[in-house]
Amino acid sequence: MKKFGLFILNLLEIYIPLSTFIIMFLTFILQIFYRYVLNNPLTWTYEVSVLGFLWTTLLGSCYVRRNHSHICFDIAYQNRSEKGKMIFRLMGNSLVIIGCIIGVFPTYQYLLDMSIEKTPVLRIPFSIGFLPVLIFIILIADHSIYDIVLDIAKFKKGAYKE
Amino acid sequence: MSFAFIVFLIIFILIFILKIPIPLGFFTATAIYAYLSGFHLSIIAEKMVMGLYTKYILMAVPLFIFTGNIMNTGKITEKIFKFANIIVGKFYGGMAHVNVVASIIFSGMTGSALADASGLGLMEIEAMREQGYADNFSCAITAASATIGPIFPPSIPMVFYSMLSGASIGKLFLGGMIPGLLIGVALMIYIAFIAKKRNYPRGESYAFRKAIAITISSFPALLTPVILLGGIYTGVMTPTEAAAVAAFYSLIISILFYRSMGKKELIIIFINTLKMTGKISIIVATSFGICFVITNERIPNVIAEWLINITNNKYVFLFIINIAFIILGMFINVNTITLVFIPIVLPLIETLGIDLVHFGVVVDLNMMIGLSTPPYGGLLFVTSGISGTPIKSIMKEMFPMLLVMYTVLFLITYIPQIVLFIPNLFHF
């Protein structure tokens, strides 16, 4: 079960955004080749590359969150004791979870509303094109909850005693 | 000031106290603001996705990151370094000069200071260490020269500024050329002075044949900025397309010409690009929410009225802005400053008759210097990390270099022609 969960996480946070980045890059090259070499511009490449960029950004940032590599400001945090740091993390993660909870259902509703609108050339429903924003909110909440659970477990084991 | 905005400000401050990842903090602050203000909460998702979907220029960012990663993993960086060595290595303090020249060349290929410091920087610091330079001086000059990266075109912060202000990205890139070179020249003058004072060694002097052989071998690498900038300024390609072509070209020469890249390296490059894109572009996506709050609360107008009451002299205004951004740059990430604080002051720029391109380059240079400014300049951490030198000792060497760079900042702030001379020669 744990292995399957990790596979799904890797699929969403690594394999899919890596693929969308490669697709975005290759589409660009194709677009330039057709426009400047064959003098026959392609109309669909804009949609593919821009959606590739969107998927790469939103899903890739979940992977960054998993590795705790997002850009942070840590002057106040670094000067705290281990217990103080844990309290800061609990507060920070809780705030992010509140944001995600507030945002998740309206985002789902937004995607449902967008399902009737389609991209002009490829006719891809925007509910699919913009789906990563919902996945982003869910995965960020998931990582934040996981970190809280880990911190509490460590606290119970006495890892943060002064 | 509404209750929702007060809560927003409290969360905004908490982002910096609690070490909440900046984009996630932006997202949370916007969501709670929208909830308390009675907006339909789908507005957060809408701002994020529509921002990414409609701002075509933003796609240049992962492509510049990709190019930088290819160069650092393939042998391109090494070739640039060797080429710089045959040009300026023979002077006193030669390796420090090489450091600056290599950064100038590298800056023409990728728009990131951190890519310069982390890739080229390691090679530069090691070479300087071998020749007996003090580690703290090597780190300081590496950090200072890396600031040229996003000033000389192309530049990731300028892409963001162009998106926010509507200024021509082509003109912004051109506007960064002279200031980027000025920083390089100013640092080299400082190196010449220090090299004499500390008796730093001359580098290797190459025989003509060897110099030609190195130049020929470096030539494909040196063509990258020509393709990138040539593509943009001949009007053949958009900056985003040029970024893709530059990435493709560096990939091809790394695989076929230098034979320095296999499947393993390619996977590392893609993973690193994914991480950097996920790190930087998500700040852009979530900052669209912050911009929505700022606009909804009419913050730019409030700040504009307040600043106009202090002064309506554009030179005094530029002075105030420079001081404010220097202080912000010491603590806050460059992209965060660009995406949050630039929209606040933009209305005033036009009111005071300041050229958007001039202002963009001034602010860009200012923030880049911030990257090297203690106590929290990102470049200091990178050079300290790759060399194992304590930050405190790098700071000591950094201060005179900062003075040199602030002098250039002062010059370009008050002599706009330094920035605008080249852009005015072109018509976009």
DSSP B325-370: HHHHHHHS-HHHHHHHHHHHHHHHHHHTT--HHHHHHHHHHHHHHH
Instruction: Say if the Cβ atoms of A18 and B40 lie within 8 Å.
Output: no
Interface of A with B in 117-146 (CB under 8 A): 129-130, 133-134, 137, 140, 144
Per-chain mean pLDDT for chain A: 92
Contact between B362 and B419 under an 8 Å Cβ cutoff? The reply is yes
Confidence class of residue A42 from pLDDT cuts 50, 70 and 90? very high
Instruction: Say if the Cβ atoms of B274 and A56 lie within 8 Å.
Output: yes
Chain B residue with minimum CA distance to A50 = B53
pLDDT beyond 70 at A61 = yes
Query: Which stretch of A88-97, B12-21, B237-246, B262-271 has the lowest confidence by average pLDDT?
Result: B237-246
Which residues of chain A make contact with B17, given a CB cutoff of 8 A? 76-77, 88
Instruction: Say if the Cβ atoms of A31 and B21 lie within 8 Å.
Output: no
Which residues of chain B make contact with A103, given a CB cutoff of 8 A? 27, 31, 41, 44-45
pLDDT beyond 90 at B390 = no
Contact between A81 and A162 under an 8 Å Cβ cutoff? The reply is yes
3-class SS of residue A72: coil
Which residues of chain B make contact with A25, given a CB cutoff of 8 A? 63, 66, 244, 247-248
pLDDT tens for residues A103-114? 999 999 999 999
Query: How large is the average pLDDT for residues B165-192?
Result: 93
Confidence class of residue B425 from pLDDT cuts 50, 70 and 90? confident
C-alpha span between B300 and B295 (Å, rounded): 7
Confidence class of residue A161 from pLDDT cuts 50, 70 and 90? low
Confidence class of residue A162 from pLDDT cuts 50, 70 and 90? low
In chain B, % of residues over pLDDT 90: 41
Q: How far is CA A12 from CA A69, B31, B52, B269, B282, in A?
A: 17, 24, 19, 19, 16
Q: Which of B30-44, B71-85, B232-246 has the highest mean pLDDT?
A: B30-44
pLDDT beyond 90 at B172 = yes
> Comparing B236 with B164, which gets the higher pLDDT?
B164
In chain A, % of residues over pLDDT 90: 78
Q: Which of A65, A69, A70 is the best residue to mutate to test the B interface, defined by the most B CB atoms within 10 Å of its own CB?
A: A70
Which residues of chain B make contact with A72, given a CB cutoff of 8 A? 19-22
Query: How large is the average pLDDT for residues B169-175?
Result: 91
Query: How large is the average pLDDT for residues A64-87?
Result: 88
Main-chain phi, psi angles of A125, to 5 degrees: -60, 135
pLDDT beyond 80 at B37 = yes
**pLDDT, position A153:** 93
Which residues of chain A make contact with B19, given a CB cutoff of 8 A? 72-74, 76-77, 88-89, 92
Distance from CA of B241 to the nearest CA of A (A): 7
pLDDT beyond 80 at A83 = yes
Q: Which of B23-37, B46-60, B190-204 has the highest mean pLDDT?
A: B23-37
Query: How large is the average pLDDT for residues B270-295?
Result: 90
Which residue, chain included where needed, has tokens 């397309």?
Answer: B241
pLDDT beyond 90 at A69 = no
Instruction: Say if the Cβ atoms of B17 and A130 lie within 8 Å.
Output: no
Distance from CA of A77 to the nearest CA of B (A): 6
How would you class B199 by CB atoms within 10 Å of its CB: exposed for 0-12, middle for 13-18, buried for 19 or more? exposed
C-alpha span between B393 and B388 (Å, rounded): 11
C-alpha span between B359 and B165 (Å, rounded): 10
Q: Which of B19, B41, B244 sits opposite A72 (nearest CB)?
A: B19
Which residues of chain A make contact with B273, given a CB cutoff of 8 A? 21
Query: How large is the average pLDDT for residues B33-52?
Result: 92
Instruction: Say if the Cβ atoms of A32 and B245 lie within 8 Å.
Output: yes
Query: How large is the average pLDDT for residues B328-347?
Result: 83
Measure CA B314 to chain center.
Answer: 25
Instruction: Say if the Cβ atoms of A107 and B236 lie within 8 Å.
Output: no
pLDDT beyond 70 at B99 = yes
Instruction: Say if the Cβ atoms of B279 and A70 lie within 8 Å.
Output: yes
**pLDDT, position A114:** 93
Instruction: Say if the Cβ atoms of B27 and A140 lie within 8 Å.
Output: yes
Q: Is B388 left (phi over 0), alpha (psi -120 to 50) or beta?
A: left
Return all residues near B362 (Cβ < 8 A) that are at least 6 apart: B318, B322, B409, B412, B413, B419
Distance from CA of A74 to the nearest CA of B (A): 5
Confidence class of residue A51 from pLDDT cuts 50, 70 and 90? very high
pLDDT tens for residues B401-418? 999 999 999 999 999 999
pLDDT beyond 80 at A138 = yes
Instruction: Say if the Cβ atoms of B285 and A22 lie within 8 Å.
Output: no
Contact between B175 and B419 under an 8 Å Cβ cutoff? The reply is yes
Measure CA B200 to chain center.
Answer: 29
Distance from CA of B279 to the nearest CA of A (A): 6
**pLDDT, position B378:** 79
**pLDDT, position B242:** 86
Instruction: Say if the Cβ atoms of A107 and B22 lie within 8 Å.
Output: no
Instruction: Say if the Cβ atoms of A99 and B32 lie within 8 Å.
Output: yes
Interface of A with B in 45-104 (CB under 8 A): 46, 49-51, 53-54, 56-65, 67, 69-77, 88-89, 91-92, 95-96, 98-100, 102-103
Distance from CA of B41 to the nearest CA of A (A): 5
pLDDT beyond 70 at B294 = yes
pLDDT tens for residues B126-163? 889 888 899 999 999 999 999 998 899 888 889 989 98
**pLDDT, position B405:** 95
**pLDDT, position B427:** 67
What does A106-157 look like in DSSP terms, one character per residue?
HHHHHHHHHTT-B-TTT--BHHHHTTHHHHHHHHHHHHHHHHHHHHHHHHHT
Which residues of chain A make contact with B237, given a CB cutoff of 8 A? 32, 36
Distance from CA of A2 to the nearest CA of B (A): 23
| Count of CB atoms situated within 10 Å of the CB of A94 | 15
C-alpha span between B148 and A92 (Å, rounded): 35
Per-chain mean pLDDT for chain B: 88
Which residues of chain A make contact with B241, given a CB cutoff of 8 A? 28, 31-32
Q: Is A158 left (phi over 0), alpha (psi -120 to 50) or beta?
A: left
pLDDT beyond 90 at B328 = no
Using only the alpha carbons of chain A, give its radius of gyration: 20
**pLDDT, position A122:** 92
Distance from CA of B298 to the nearest CA of A (A): 23
Which residue, chain included where needed, has tokens 């905005």?
Answer: B5
pLDDT beyond 80 at A143 = yes
Instruction: Say if the Cβ atoms of B31 and A102 lie within 8 Å.
Output: yes
> Comparing B236 with B356, which gets the higher pLDDT?
B356
Query: Which stretch of A5-19, A48-62, B108-122, B347-361 has the lowest confidence by average pLDDT?
Result: B108-122
Q: How far is CA B165 from CA B344, B358, B396, B397, in A?
A: 11, 12, 37, 36
Chain B residue with minimum CA distance to A113 = B42
Query: How large is the average pLDDT for residues B231-258?
Result: 86
Instruction: Say if the Cβ atoms of A46 and B56 lie within 8 Å.
Output: yes
